Amino acid sequence: MKTNKPINYVGKNVKIGNNVRIWHFTYIGDNTVIGDNVVIGSLCHIDYNVKIGNNVRIEGSCYIPPLTVIGNNVFIGPATVFTNDPYPPSKRLTGVIVEDDVVIGARAVIKAGVKLGKACVVAMGSVVTRDVQPNTVVLGNPAKPIYDRSLYENKKKRWEENII
């Protein structure tokens, strides 16, 4: 009897840490390394030679291309797209570097070769075409700095406490 169970694809030589949850219909390419306590949402495509740190949450429908490096304690919102070819289609690829404690909102697009600095925040729908400095919040197309991470955390706290 044939069953209709959700199917994931995990490539060759993939290293998956402890307590990793991978939701339905996800692709993980060859030679990818995934740390501990990672959640990967449904319909994600994580290509080959990607490195993902510990305590990372990747929401559904994200594309993470080859050569991307993601640090620890990172949140990646749904439908985020990283790129790895600034002049497609070219023969030379480069990855995106996401340092520790970064937050990326839904539907953000990150250009190939960009570095997202430690504890920065990329607002939803932003198109990041240049490096983002640590502890900086960026917004827009192209993404531009709007304030620092401490103000973001203050706004988040006020939102959670229903003050705003």
1 pLDDT above the threshold of 60: no
The closest alpha carbon to 83, from 62, 56, 60, 104, belongs to: 62
For domain 9-160, the CATH superfamily is Hexapeptide repeat proteins (2.160.10.10)
Structure tokens at 105: 């909102």
For the entire predicted model, the pTM comes to 0.94
Structure tokens at 102: 């970064």
99-119 residue pLDDT tens: 999 999 999 999 999 999 999
29-88 residue pLDDT tens: 999 999 999 999 999 999 999 999 999 999 999 999 999 999 999 999 999 999 999 899
| Strand 136-140 with 143-148, pairing | antiparallel
* Cβ contact 67:48 at 8 Å: no
Listed by start position, the domains of the chain span: 9-160
Beta bridge partners of 109: 81, 127
Coil, helix or strand at residue 157: helix
